[in-house]
Amino acid sequence: MAGHRGPRRDTRGIVDAPGLFARVRFRRRAPAPELRPFLEHYWLIDWDLDRPYASRLVPHPSVNLVFQRHPGCADEAAGYAEVAGIGLELFTQSLAGRGRVCGVQFRPGGFRPFAPGAPVSRWTGRRLAAAG
């Protein structure tokens, strides 16, 4: 994609970004050139906290494929993968202990080719287990 300079560096959508960044290691990575028409970026968050912290995000109009392993996720030992559709309200996630969440943020409309048999609206406002 011409003119693509790498992943966004802004904190759009992160409520209290300084508070979050003081508690977690947050990174974004650019996708391979062939995937840039579909993917915004990869994102990774690691933490090791003495006290729980509530992270809050204003959702982007994007689908995310999320992989997580932390206390409180569906299967802490093995981890969990889900498709997170476009959120309809403020998203709050409690972070506690030690954990990792990473994901793929699709560009608006970029998820469609990866799920051609279902309308993307199926995931709007929902978080569904990723098919294995």
Q: pLDDT tens for the chain, 132 residues: list them.
A: 444 556 777 888 899 999 999 999 999 999 999 999 999 999 999 999 999 999 999 998 899 999 987 766 656 566 788 999 999 999 998 999 998 999 999 998 899 998 888 888 888 999 888 875
The reported pLDDT for the residue numbered 118 is: 86
pLDDT, residue 2, reads 45
Q: What is the pLDDT of residue 107?
A: 94
Domain ranges of the chain: 26-111+122-129
Q: How far apart are CA 20 and CA 93, in angstroms?
A: 11
Task: List, in order, residues 6 or more apart from 38 with CB less than 8 Å away.
Answer: 31, 106, 107, 110, 111, 113, 114
* Residues whose CB is less than 8 angstroms from the CB of residue 39 and which lie 6 or more positions away in sequence, other chains included: 31, 104, 105, 106, 107, 110
Which CATH number applies to 26-111+122-129?
2.60.40
Q: Note the pLDDT of residue 88.
A: 94
Looking at residue 41, its pLDDT comes to 95
pLDDT of res. 79: 75
